[in-house]
A and B are shown apart, each in its own frame.
Chain A
Amino acid sequence: MEIKSLKIGKKAQEEMFGFVLIMVFVAVIFLVFLGIFLRTRTGAEEKKSIDVYHFLEGMMKVTTNCEKSPGNYLNIGELISECYSGAQQCIDGKRTCDELNESLKAVINSVWKVSEESYTKGYIFEAGYNSTSNSEKIITLTEGNCSVSLVGAEYVFSAYPGVIINSLKICS
């Protein structure tokens, strides 16, 4: 009687072991599949940023109203460098950082129209100086709600001895 009970117990254990093995096997495959799926998703987000990159590249060349010397109007890229270099002023007495703020807002808002109804729910623009010894934020502009998905790009230009990194993230 006792031997029979032991035999049944051993058989049940074997069945359970087989079941657990299959479950583990299935779980591993599911995790691998999930990993591949998520990795594909992340890649898709970065691909969209080429538009933003071209936008940043074009925007850096847009001429502003800041005149450094008679007839010499600065573009946005130069204005970012001027703003970083200190309390420089335009010929009309306006601070370069204020002019930069206004120009950036005007250009970005003309393209990425932020509203609850539109596709663009918000944006974050950041410009910062980066070198081997120093890292400093120059300007940050935010508009709307940026809690959902992000599409963005970085545009880098030289500002000896370092670089100025401009990034724009569009929230939709």
Chain B
Amino acid sequence: MKLAFYSLTSCEGCLTTLITKLGPDLEGLWNNFDIDYFKLVREPVGGSRIPKADIAFVEGAVVTNLDREQLLEIRKNSRFVVALGTCASSGNIAYTASRGVDLKGRRLRDVEISEAEPISSVITVDYELSGCPVSAEEFTDALLRLVNSIEPVQPDFSVCYECKMKGNDCLLEKRRVCLGPLAMGGCGAACTSVGAPCFSCRGPAAEADLDAYLKTIEKKGVDRQRALMLLHMFTGKKVKEVLKNEQ
């Protein structure tokens, strides 16, 4: 089976997470699959051409014309495309940050810059693994499921579930702006466990209920404007899904 790993506009933190977390086990991945494209790990087969692959993992958002062209080629040559990480699945901070920047003011010679988009704005995506960065365990789980023709799943619970299981004090109770109730779990409540509020880097949870959340934080005296600002930060384009009931 052929795998390919691509990187569009991003910090490349998702691919480095896979590389460092797999560590010496990367050899196992290498021996069991044909990996024809994996930026940072190997020279691509066929130079700059996009090889045929059974499963393509794509990290990064679409910002440049080169991203867009490469992504279309990837779709054409891959049977199954997985968005790897939050940039690819929602556009991440770049989605919000690139809006309102004067991109017409300056023309570059070879690169055209447009507002950041998740890859699903350009091509059909078969599966999304979110997270900033993506979780190596979830990647391995998804890969094993996909090669066995089983649909992979991402957690349907919110960050609060794992946070409570760890016995952390609730940050909302301390009147800090935490997006835990809206955010997809599976990160092991990494941020809230060190006392940093959740910024929902994995996108909205299946059970996210914005109205209920806003009512709750109002009762606790947490800043609503600030919460909505943070919600736009990582949730990128997906913020529309969460906000659809919000007037």
Chain A partners chain B: no
Interface residues of A (CB under 8 A from B): none
